[in-house]
Homo-oligomer: A and B are copies of this chain.
Amino acid sequence: MSYRLPPLNSLRAFEASARHLSFKRASDELCVTPGAVSQQVKSLEASLGVQLFRRFPRGLLLTAEGESYLPLISNAFRAISDATEHVAPALKGRFLRVGVSRALSERRHPAIEGLRRGEERPRTKLITTDDLGKLIDGKLDVLLRTSPQFPPGLHADRIALPTPSGPALPATLVTLPGLAGCREVRALLKLLTRA
């Protein structure tokens, strides 16, 4: 038997916003802009014909409908997430595993430190290493190093890390080809190259 599902991407924006009671914090979690979250939630409300949030200048409150919807949607997403991890155990890690070479790690670059402290998105687990083998073995998702060298078959972005004072620091972000375009890696790239 078929069902009618609401727009699922919008539902994701709703769920994250409802947990945080903030489009801003939801946008951080989802690695998109607050405007995108706002639009998605608005679009969901329009398609449902139901207000899910009360908006305030500095945040959100759930309506009664939103209050009743949230746990049901969160549980369904949790079930999907768990089922997915069960079927594809390789997706179990909830963090982007980022190798950072010792040289860069010791530079205490602000964005990298922010990631380390959990203050920046995407969520990452930082590992001090420059071992490309870990990338190939699937033990890392991304490797950030100063050396521009990388073996064929991997994908590399040459970037300039802005420094608080002085010239930008050249670095290379290496990934498996399949991961190069994923949202978290792109978000990481953007974070690292941000002024």
Contact = CB atoms under 8 A, between A and B. Distances in A.
| Chain copies in complex | 2
A87 B75 contact: no
A88 interface: yes
Given A72-B79, A178-B46, A84 B6 contact: yes
Given A8-B9, A16-B2, A29-B2, A48 B84 contact: yes
B2 A12 contact: no
B80 A76 contact: yes
Contacts of A73: 80, 83
B6 A80 contact: yes
Q: Interface residues of A toward B: which range?
A: 35 or more
A4 B49 CA distance: 28
Contact of A50 (B9, B88, B178): B88
A5 interface: yes
Contacts of A79: 72, 75-76, 79
Contacts of A48: 84, 87-88, 91
Nearest to A30: B2
A83 B77 contact: no
Nearest to A48: B88
Interface string A35-71: 0000000000010111000000000000001001100
A163 interface: no
Contact of A12 (B8, B49, B75, B86): B8
A29 B1 CA distance: 10
Interface of A: 2-6, 8-9, 11-12, 16, 29, 46, 48-50, 65, 68-69, 72-73, 75-84, 86-88, 90-91, 94, 123, 178
Given A8-B11, A69-B83, 12 more contacts: A2-B29, A2-B94, A4-B81, A5-B81, A5-B84, A11-B80, A48-B91, A49-B88, A50-B88, A65-B87, A68-B87, A79-B79
